């Protein structure tokens, strides 16, 4: 962490006042991400031990900015220590924006317009900035070639099909994989392939999209990235909107290259399938193998996409063994139940005063966590805060400025996240987390609110928040 503070101070010429750990996709990347701040200044710090991937991200970032693309500015780097500092783009992802602007299948115009902005930028990455990119720094492969495709297909076969218990004939499936690979490689592939172009890697600031997490990019076909965005499982875009956005993308692409729509579509749905399989492999690896149950919450959405494809798309080649596997997946009650069980975990969060005793677990399950916030700086000792609570802006600002508070919360979130994942994977329905302090008014309230905010970003978690002492006082 000291190296990130040094990079911050070298760039801004002020000392770091606050360090806030940021949770990404809950164990999906291995990078440590923090926000460093001093007054109104802030930056994002990354610690990650894979030098080649760091080099790729830094070089790509600088290249894209030279082309005027909306990616974070790099403020500083210390590659020997696996660290770099980048522009803070905020916390609102396209996925969160979409979630707040939809009711079921009905998506508000604001979200549709934002998606249109996103697909309009994509050809700039693929064609304009892709033609003079240094592909020598790509990691782990310089192109989405036969080897890359084989990795993705085997990832799906061994970490999803096999671990989920989906029956398949291995030799027949390998024959289909060979046919599919040949079709994929017959598409023009001299463009930049972002690789993970999906709603959580797009950050919205001042009404405009910014793009991150392209360090796995490589040379490849145009179809892959637009398929990644439009068939992003949990975004669950309606089929009609997917079609409209694909049309919007193709209209924008026509301003860069001449590619007939029919030629694009000849390979498009093959790339849709391979992207869905890559994602399912990741869900299986993280969910079935690593026992991180929250990753399995995306499976029903991926199955929904496969069901739609089976009823509406015919590939130009026959893939009987693969299609049989897909039909088994779509009809599998086990896969539906494994995922649906993860949706029902209720986390009950409570603040309290130790003077009035520990909260009772009304579910009768016992267990859970009780965290003692009395070791943290106490706003209640200052006259200006005595009439306020941990929900008031002045108290929040005071506690946000204390590094010990951020460290405390980081440890709490790590422990609770691990339990939530374990509980979901085992089908448990309830977890209780309590925060105590002296009066149950400031620190415990703040901590409970922060954890609730953190967990509400997780799918499959129902958060119930109570402040026992504030309720007693009618606040």
Q: What confidence score (pLDDT) does residue 296 get?
A: 87
Residue 460 burial (C-beta neighbours within 10 Å; 0-12, 13-18, 19+): middle
Please state the three-class secondary structure of the chain as a single string: CHHHHHHHHHHHCCCCCEEEEECCCCCCCCCEEEEEEECCEEEEEEECCCHHHHHHHHHHHHHHHHCCCCCCCEEEEEHHHCEEEEECCCCCEHHHHHHHCEECCEECHHHHHHHHHHHHHHHHHHHHCCCCCCHHHCCCCCECCHHHHHHHHHHHHHHHHHHHCCCCCHHHHHHHHHHHHHHHHCCCCCEEECCCCCHHHEEEECCEEEECCCCCCEEECCHHHHHHHHCCHHHCCCHHHHHHHHHHHHHHHCCCCCCCHHHHHHHHHHHHHHHHHHHHHHHHHHHHHCCCHHHHHHHHHHHHHHHHHHHHCCCCCCCHHHHHHHHHHHCCHHHHHHHHHHHHEEEEEEEEEHHHCCCCCCCCCCCCEEEEHHHCCCHHHCHHHCCCCCCCHHHHHHHHCCHHHHHHHHHHHHHHHHHHHHHHHCCCCEEEEEEEECCCCCHHHHHHHHHHHHHHCCCCEEEEEEEHHHHHCCC
Residue whose C-alpha is closest to residue 447's, from 378, 388, 342, 371? 371
Residue 131 to residue 67: CA distance in whole angstroms: 11
- For the chain, report the end-to-end CA distance as a whole number of angstroms: 39
Residue 460 to residue 458: CA distance in whole angstroms: 6
Residue 203 burial (C-beta neighbours within 10 Å; 0-12, 13-18, 19+): buried
Whether residue 299 contacts residue 338, with contact meaning beta carbons closer than 8 Å, is answered with yes
Q: What confidence score (pLDDT) does residue 25 get?
A: 40
Residue whose C-alpha is closest to residue 274's, from 339, 195, 338, 194? 195
Greatest extent of the chain over all pairs of C-alpha atoms, in Å? 75
Whether residue 358 contacts residue 352, with contact meaning beta carbons closer than 8 Å, is answered with yes
- Report pTM: 0.74
Residue 217 to residue 60: CA distance in whole angstroms: 9
* pLDDT values of the chain reduced to their tens digit, one per residue, 475 residues: 899 999 999 999 999 999 988 854 434 567 899 999 999 999 999 999 999 999 999 999 999 999 999 999 999 999 999 999 999 999 899 999 999 898 888 999 999 999 999 999 999 999 999 999 999 999 999 999 999 999 999 999 999 999 999 999 999 999 999 999 999 999 999 999 999 999 999 999 999 999 999 999 999 999 999 999 999 998 999 999 999 999 999 999 999 999 999 999 999 999 999 999 999 999 999 888 887 777 888 899 999 999 999 999 999 999 999 999 999 999 988 887 765 544 568 899 999 999 999 988 766 666 789 999 999 999 999 999 999 999 999 999 999 999 999 999 999 999 999 999 888 777 778 899 999 999 999 999 999 999 998 998 777 788 889 999 998 776 6
Domains and CATH numbers, the chain: 2-87 (3.30.200.20), 94-331 (3.90.1200.10), 342-472 (no CATH)
Whether residue 97 contacts residue 205, with contact meaning beta carbons closer than 8 Å, is answered with no
Q: What confidence score (pLDDT) does residue 21 get?
A: 82
Q: What confidence score (pLDDT) does residue 366 get?
A: 67
Phi and psi at residue 349, to the nearest 5°: -115, 130
Residue 106 to residue 111: CA distance in whole angstroms: 10
What residues are paired with 22 via a beta bridge? 33
Q: What confidence score (pLDDT) does residue 474 get?
A: 67
Question: Angle, nearest 10°, between helix axes 261-284 and 170-185?
Answer: 140
Residue 427 burial (C-beta neighbours within 10 Å; 0-12, 13-18, 19+): middle
Whether residue 398 contacts residue 334, with contact meaning beta carbons closer than 8 Å, is answered with no
């Amino acid at each position: 962490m000291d190296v990130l503070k040094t990079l911050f101070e070298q760039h801004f010429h002020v000392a770091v006042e606050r360090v806030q750990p940021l949770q990404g996709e809950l164990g999906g990347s291995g990078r440590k991400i923090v926000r460093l701040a001093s007054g109104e200044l802030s930056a994002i710090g990354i610690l990650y031990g894979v030098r080649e991937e760091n080099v790729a991200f830094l070089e790509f970032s600088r290249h894209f900015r030279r082309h005027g693309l909306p990616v974070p500015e790099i403020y500083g780097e210390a590659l020997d220590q696996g660290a770099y500092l980048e522009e803070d783009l905020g916390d609102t992802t396209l996925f969160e924006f979409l979630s707040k602007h939809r009711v079921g299948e009905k998506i508000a115009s604001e979200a549709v317009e934002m998606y249109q902005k996103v697909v309009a930028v994509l050809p700039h990455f693929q064609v304009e900035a892709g033609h003079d990119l240094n592909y020598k720094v790509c990691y782990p492969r310089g192109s989405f070639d036969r080897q890359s495709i084989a990795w993705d297909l085997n990832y799906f076969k061994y970490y999803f099909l096999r671990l989920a218990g989906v029956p398949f004939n291995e030799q027949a499936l390998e024959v289909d994989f060979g046919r599919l690979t040949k079709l994929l490689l017959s598409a023009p592939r001299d463009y930049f392939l972002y690789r993970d172009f999906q709603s959580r890697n797009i950050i919205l600031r001042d009404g405009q999209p910014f793009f991150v997490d392209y360090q796995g990019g490589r040379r490849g076909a145009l179809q892959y990235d637009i398929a990644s965005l439009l068939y992003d499982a949990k975004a669950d875009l309606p089929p009609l909107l997917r079609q409209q956005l694909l049309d919007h993308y193709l209209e924008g692409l026509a301003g860069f290259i001449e590619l007939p729509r029919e030629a694009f579509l000849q390979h498009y749905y093959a790339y849709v399938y391979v992207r869905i399989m890559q994602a399912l492999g990741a869900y299986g690896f993280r969910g079935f193998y690593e026992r991180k149950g929250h990753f399995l919450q995306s499976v029903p959405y991926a199955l929904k996409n496969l069901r739609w494809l089976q009823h509406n798309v015919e590939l130009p080649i026959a893939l009987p063994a693969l299609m049989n596997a897909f039909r088994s997946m779509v009809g599998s009650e086990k896969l539906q139940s494994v995922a649906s069980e993860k949706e029902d975990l209720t986390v009950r969060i409570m603040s309290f005063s130790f003077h009035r005793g520990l909260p009772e677990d009304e579910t009768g399950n016992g267990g859970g966590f009780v965290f003692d916030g009395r070791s943290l700086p106490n706003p209640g000792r200052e006259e200006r805060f005595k009439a306020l609570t941990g929900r008031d802006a002045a108290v929040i600002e005071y506690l946000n400025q204390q590094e010990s508070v951020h460290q405390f919360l980081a440890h709490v979130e790590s422990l609770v996240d691990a339990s939530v994942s374990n509980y979901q994977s085992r089908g448990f329905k309830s977890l209780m987390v309590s925060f105590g302090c002296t009066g149950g008014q400031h620190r415990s309230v703040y901590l409970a609110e922060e954890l609730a905010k953190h967990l509400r970003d997780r799918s499959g978690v129902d958060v119930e928040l109570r402040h026992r002492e504030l309720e007693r006082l009618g606040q």
